[in-house]
Amino acid sequence: MLNTSDWLYVIAFFILSLAVGLGVARRAGSNISEFFLSGRHMPWWLLGFSMVATTFATDTPNLVTDLVRTHGVSGNWLWWSFLLTGMLTVFVYARLWRRSGVLTDLEFYELRYSGKAAAFLRGFRALYLGAFFNIIIMAAVTLAAIKFSGVLFGLSPVKTVMIAASITVVYSAIGGLSGVLITDLFQFIIAMTGSVATAWYVLGLPQVKGLNNLLSHSALRGSLSLLPDFSDTNTLFAVFIIPLAVQWWSVWYPGSEPGGGGYIAQRMLAAKTENHAVWATLLFNVAHYALRPWPWIIVALCSLVIFPDLASLRRAFPLLDPALVRNDLGYPAMLTFLPHGLLGLVVASLFAAYMSTISTHLNWGSSYLVNDFYKRFVRPDSSEKQLVLVGRICTILLMVAAGFLALLLSHSLQAFNIMLQIGAGTGLLFLLRWFWWRINAVSEISAMLISFLVAVYFEFIHQRLGFELLAEWQKLTVGVGVTTIGWIIATFFTKPTDRETLLEFCRLVHPGGPGWQAVWKNAHSGDIAGERSEKRWDVPGGIMCMFLGCVAVYSILFATGYWIYSNYIPAVILTCLAVVSSWYLLLAWRRIISQTRGA
């Protein structure tokens, strides 16, 4: 339990969060552009740290612990693979999003597509993503808060939900995105400090006896490798081959959307300029994949020494609901060893992680419900003040719904797999819609519908029909294949987007490339010739930068691991590779920028 010194950390953190929300309340309430995009004048470093803070949720260390305890360190390839789509977003899609000038990424639909199908798609996805999908995400994050509070405070799930949600809702509803961004900055600092401090302390526990003893402990045999066991085919496909070959480009997942989207797009749209959008997204990917994982991994490995199986966790926490005792409980279980003072800091860091993620999802989700549903279809003549009020009401309702759903979930990996399956097969469409004119609104509607039906089938029907239970990677692969084939067929059997809409999209965004040649050929020569030559198609160079960025970040990530393992030869080689690839990345990106400006 926390003592007075611990509570001082927590209370000070709460007061600071509320003060920020109150400080920017007047500006945030002036119009919806301020409330949802901070007036489009945010610097890259603040946006980048906000992206990192948002993806550092309370459930993130739990998820990493679940993967390490289940598959070893190499199990993290399940999310490390998303670096590929992250770097593609940095060097190809960030500038396209900023050029679009939309308020939300759903507004893109009526910029890129035409007719009633485009309007339906925008409105439906506003509800589907802003409410349904968003509530699932927040419920998973709140589930982690339930587990932490159950272990540390003995609170019931209902009390946890009520306490955890209240302060977050208040400053999110009052301060809008500006309040979220500013609090995200110090929340990230607190959260990282807490995770590093936790890793440092648990290494010194008598049961662990330092890093060297940890790495040589029998409980970790087979768990330390950065690559999966290639003789274990099922694990190899589940956490390595499928994520790297299929998952990263084919699956829509919050924070790792192929082509950008969601709250990542919201941050890019809030940037001062295109270059600020690029640098913000680059900072996010470097910090997310290279900076944060190892403190969590170390704590997860220590948990295997002290709590080698689920039975030991149940014995340690007999009063906790047995349904909540899964491998992801290993992380909060380790926090019970922290001394007072440090425990208060870590608890404050967990609150920071929770609040940064929830506040972003509340603001992002309400932006969809307000701008893309209420304003577009219900009350188009609403004043700016009315829209801000509706946004604040939606913020409260989303949190209430997420709290109820959190009470029905049992572990982090469960929600992660559900979200992957629902988004399976839609990713390729999100990548191509910027560069292939033939994709239309029906393509997206088909992809969304098919992927959802496939997810429902595997989750609720497949096994009941007597079929053999499939592994998660097998479900994902089938979902990707069925969904991709389905939306491609729908594309060619439906009418393309109105040509004038396509031309206006090209004039505004300048996507370029061979996928738009059919549009150029049928345009009036004087109408589009100047537009066509104004911007150089820099996607090939962007893909090269993506490759160099991935090499640099993976090198930093694995070099850090090998330094921790005291395996110095690969550590030195990978450190040098990180420096060289980063240098060439900077040169390549500067060349693209200079060519684009000179074109």
- What is the number of structural domains in the chain? 1
Task: Report yes or no on 488 lying in a domain.
Answer: yes
pLDDT at 533: 44
User: Domain range holding 437?
Assistant: 424-497
From 310, 309, 307, select the one nearest 322 (Cα to Cα): 310
Q: Angle of helix 134-152 relative to helix 157-203, nearest 10 degrees?
A: 70
Task: Tell me the two tokens of residue 468.
Answer: 């053999």
Task: Report yes or no on 303 lying in a domain.
Answer: no
Task: Report yes or no on 473 lying in a domain.
Answer: yes
Task: Report yes or no on 441 lying in a domain.
Answer: yes
Residue 162 and residue 103: Cα distance in Å, rounded? Answer: 32
Task: Report yes or no on 74 lying in a domain.
Answer: no
DSSP codes of every residue in 198-267: HHHHHHTSTTT-HHHHHHH-GGGTTT--SS--TT-HHHHIIIIIHIIIIIHHHB--TT--TT--HHHHHH
Task: Report yes or no on 144 lying in a domain.
Answer: no
Residues whose CB falls within 8 Å of the CB of residue 164, separated by 6 or more in sequence, listed in order? 142, 145, 149, 351, 354, 358
Residue 360 and residue 180: Cα distance in Å, rounded? Answer: 6
Residue 1 and residue 8: Cα distance in Å, rounded? Answer: 14
What pTM was estimated for this model as a whole?
0.87
Residue type, 11: I
Q: Which residue has the tokens 């949600």?
A: 165
pLDDT at 561: 95
Q: How far, in Å, are 2, 37, 98, 153 from residue 272 at the CA level?
A: 43, 11, 9, 43
Find the range with the poorest average confidence among 13-22, 344-353, 459-468: 13-22
Residue 267 and residue 270: Cα distance in Å, rounded? Answer: 5
Name the strand (E) or helix (H) holding 172.
Answer: helix 157-203
Question: In the predicted model, what is the mean pLDDT of residues 157-170?
Answer: 76
Task: Report yes or no on 476 lying in a domain.
Answer: yes
Model confidence over 50-88: pLDDT tens digits?
898 888 766 788 889 999 999 999 999 989 999 999 999
Residue type, 103: L
Residues whose CB falls within 8 Å of the CB of residue 468, separated by 6 or more in sequence, listed in order? none
Phi, psi of 343, rounded to the nearest 5 degrees:
-60, -40
pLDDT at 410: 61
CA-CA-CA-CA torsion sign (35, 9, 397, 58): positive
Question: In the predicted model, what is the mean pLDDT of residues 507-512?
Answer: 89
Residue 145 and residue 158: Cα distance in Å, rounded? Answer: 11
Which residues on neighbouring strands pair with residue 251, listed in sequence order?
Answer: 424
Find the range with the poorest average confidence among 70-74, 251-255, 268-272: 251-255
Residues whose CB falls within 8 Å of the CB of residue 401, separated by 6 or more in sequence, listed in order? 131, 135
pLDDT at 177: 77
415 half-sphere exposure, CB direction, 13 A CA radius: 27
Task: Report yes or no on 246 lying in a domain.
Answer: no
Residue 9 and residue 167: Cα distance in Å, rounded? Answer: 15
Q: How far, in Å, are 154, 305, 322, 323, 334 from residue 318 at the CA level?
A: 11, 19, 8, 12, 16
Task: Tell me the two tokens of residue 22.
Answer: 């109150």
Model confidence over 550-566: pLDDT tens digits?
999 999 999 999 999 99
For residue 132, give the DSSP letter. Answer: I
313 pLDDT more than 80: yes
Model confidence over 197-234: pLDDT tens digits?
999 999 999 999 999 999 999 999 889 999 998 888 88
Residue 290 and residue 292: Cα distance in Å, rounded? Answer: 6
530 pLDDT more than 50: no
